[in-house]
C-alpha cells in the first residue's frame, strides 16, 4: 500500500494483477518547468519513485540543480539527464556533477546524446561521457543509457539499427568493467509486439542490461502524435494513426492500458524477460499520469535510500 495522498481521488478500476506487478518501481520524467506546476510531489508520487529530470537545450544548469534539490528534499531519488551534445567539455561535465552532488546528493544519471544536431563542444554521444570516468570518480551508483526499440534516424540515417546496436554492445561491455548499476531507458513506444522482438534480439546478442521501457502517459491523441513525430517514434506510431481514424475514439484521451497489459502478460509468462521496469513520459501532465498509475496498481515501494 502506497503511503501518500492524492488531492483528487483516483478512479476505482479493476486492477489487472499482471499490470500491477509490472508497474512496481516505475519511474517518471519531469522538466523544471513542469515540476513548477506541482506544489508537492508527495501528493502524487509514492515515496521512492525515481524521478528523471530532462535537460532540454537552453535550460540553465541552475534550474536543473534546483529542481533536483527540491525533489530530493521531498524524498525522491533523482536521475538528471546528461545530454552529451550540450555539454561544452569535461570541465563542464565535472562541474555539473559537483553541483548536483553538492546541492541534491545526486548519485545517478541518464546519459544520452541529446536532441541537438550539432554538438556544442567536445562530446557527441554518451559513450564519450562514460569514457571520461567522471561519473565513476564521483561515486555514481547508477547509470542509465538510451535505448531505441524502433531505431533512431539521427544515429542510423538509413533507418536501420546497425549503429544503435553497436552502441549498446559498447555500453554492455562498459557495464562489465564498471561498478555502477546500469540499465537501458528507452524512448516511448505504443505497440508491444515490436518492443518484445527488440528486447529478445538484444538478449540474443548478449546485451543483458535491464530495460526500462518508455511509456507515454495518458494524453490527448493529438498531443501524442505531435510528440511522437518530434521524437522520431516510428513503427508504433501506426497505433495512434489507427486510433485517429476511429471517430468514436478521436476525442478520447489515449491511455497505455493495452500496451502495458500486453507487456505485463508477456513478462508474467516469461519471468526472465529483460524488460524490468516502466518509465513514464507524462505527456498529458504529471498529475494525470500519476493518477493513472495508482489506479492501475502502480506504486514504488523502494525507500529512497535504497533506490
Query: 92: domain CATH number?
Result: 3.20.20.220
- Give residue 147's domain range: 17-298
Rounded Cα–Cα distance for residues 160 and 181 (Å): 29
In the predicted model, what is the mean pLDDT of residues 75-86?
Answer: 97
> What distance separates the 2 farthest-apart alpha carbons in the chain?
55
Rounded Cα–Cα distance for residues 270 and 168 (Å): 23
CB 38 within 8 A of CB 70: no
Beta-carbon contacts of 134 under 8 Å, excluding residues fewer than 6 positions away, are 90, 93, 94, 97
Does residue 307 belong to any structural domain of this protein? no
> Total domain count for the chain?
1
Rounded Cα–Cα distance for residues 206 and 211 (Å): 13
Does residue 173 belong to any structural domain of this protein? yes
Does residue 267 belong to any structural domain of this protein? yes
Q: Which of 46-50, 173-177, 225-229, 287-291 has the lowest mean pLDDT?
A: 225-229
Does residue 306 belong to any structural domain of this protein? no
Rounded Cα–Cα distance for residues 84 and 115 (Å): 10
Instruction: Please determine, for residue 217, whether its predicted confidence score (pLDDT) is greater than 60.
Output: yes
Does residue 227 belong to any structural domain of this protein? yes
- Angle formed by the axes of helices 192-204 and 257-269, to 10°? 40
> pTM surpassing 0.85?
yes
Does residue 265 belong to any structural domain of this protein? yes
Rounded Cα–Cα distance for residues 117 and 99 (Å): 26
Does residue 3 belong to any structural domain of this protein? no
- Which DSSP category does 125 fall into? S
Does residue 11 belong to any structural domain of this protein? no
pLDDT tens digits for 8-37?
A: 554 556 789 999 999 999 999 999 999 999
Percent of the chain past pLDDT 90, that is, above it, reads: 70
Burial, 302: exposed, middle or buried (Cβ in 10 Å; 0-12, 13-18, 19+)?
A: middle
Amino acid at each position: 500500500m502506497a503511503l501518500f495522498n492524492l488531492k483528487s481521488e483516483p478512479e476505482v478500476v479493476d486492477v489487472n494483477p499482471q499490470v500491477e506487478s509490472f508497474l512496481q518501481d516505475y519511474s517518471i520524467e519531469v522538466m523544471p518547468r513542469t515540476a513548477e506546476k506541482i506544489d508537492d510531489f508527495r501528493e502524487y508520487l509514492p515515496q521512492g519513485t525515481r524521478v528523471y529530470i530532462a535537460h532540454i537545450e537552453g535550460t540553465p544548469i541552475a534550474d536543473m540543480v534546483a529542481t533536483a534539490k527540491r525533489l530530493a528534499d521531498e524524498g525522491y531519488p533523482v536521475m538528471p539527464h546528461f545530454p552529451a551534445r550540450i555539454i561544452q567539455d569535461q570541465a563542464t561535465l565535472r562541474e555539473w556533477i559537483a553541483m548536483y552532488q553538492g546541492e541534491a546528493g545526486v548519485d545517478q544519471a541518464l546519459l544520452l546524446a541529446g536532441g541537438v544536431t550539432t554538438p556544442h563542444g567536445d562530446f557527441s554521444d554518451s559513450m564519450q561521457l562514460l569514457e571520461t570516468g567522471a561519473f565513476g570518480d564521483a561515486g555514481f551508483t547508477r547509470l542509465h543509457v538510451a535505448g531505441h526499440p524502433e531505431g533512431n534516424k539521427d544515429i542510423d540515417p538509413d533507418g536501420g539499427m546497425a549503429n544503435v546496436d553497436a552502441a549498446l554492445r559498447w555500453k554492455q561491455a562498459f557495464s562489465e568493467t564498471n561498478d555502477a548499476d546500469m540499465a537501458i531507458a528507452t524512448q516511448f513506444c505504443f505497440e508491444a509486439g515490436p518492443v518484445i522482438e527488440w528486447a529478445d534480439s538484444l538478449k540474443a546478442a548478449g546485451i543483458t542490461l535491464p530495460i526500462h521501457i518508455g511509456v507515454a502517459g495518458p494524453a490527448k491523441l493529438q498531443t501524442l502524435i505531435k510528440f511522437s513525430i518530434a521524437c522520431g517514434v516510428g513503427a508504433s506510431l501506426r497505433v495512434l494513426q489507427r486510433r485517429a481514424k476511429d471517430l468514436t475514439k478521436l476525442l478520447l484521451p489515449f491511455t497505455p492500458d493495452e500496451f502495458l497489459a500486453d507487456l505485463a502478460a508477456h513478462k508474467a509468462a516469461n519471468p526472465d524477460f529483460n524488460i524490468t521496469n516502466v518509465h513514464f513520459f507524462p505527456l498529458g501532465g504529471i498529475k494525470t499520469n500519476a493518477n493513472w498509475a495508482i489506479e492501475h496498481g502502480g506504486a514504488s515501494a523502494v525507500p529512497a535510500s535504497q533506490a
